[in-house]
Amino acid sequence: MLSEIKDFVKAHFNDIMLFVIVALLVMLAFSMGYIAAKYQAKEPIQVINQNK
C-alpha cells in the first residue's frame, strides 16, 4: 500500500508540485483580496476642530 503511494508520487511529482503551487497562489490571492476588502470597508477618520 505505502509502496504504491510512493510510486504514484514519484511518477506524478511534477504534476503534484504544480497543483500545490497553484493552490497556494490561489489561497494567497484570496487572502490578499479579503484583507484589502476589509481595509476599504472602514470609515475614514474625521478630525473636527472644536476651538472656534
Instruction: Please give the pLDDT value at position 52.
Output: 63
Query: What are the cell numbers at 23?
Result: 493552490
In a domain, 27, yes or no: yes
Total domains, the chain: 1
19 is a domain residue: yes
Q: What is the pLDDT of residue 47?
A: 86
Q: Note whether residue 16 is domain-resident.
A: yes
Amino acid (one-letter) located at 48: I
Q: What is the predicted pLDDT for the residue at 50?
A: 83
Q: Which residues contact 16 (CB under 8 A, 6 or more apart)?
A: 9
Residue 11's pLDDT is 97
**Which range marks the domain in which residue 24 is found?**
2-39
Give the pLDDT score at 34.
93
Q: Report the pLDDT value the prediction gives residue 26, as an integer from 0 to 100.
A: 98
Name the stretches of the chain with pLDDT < 50: none
User: Please, are residues 44 and 37 in contact by the beta-carbon 8 Å criterion?
Assistant: no
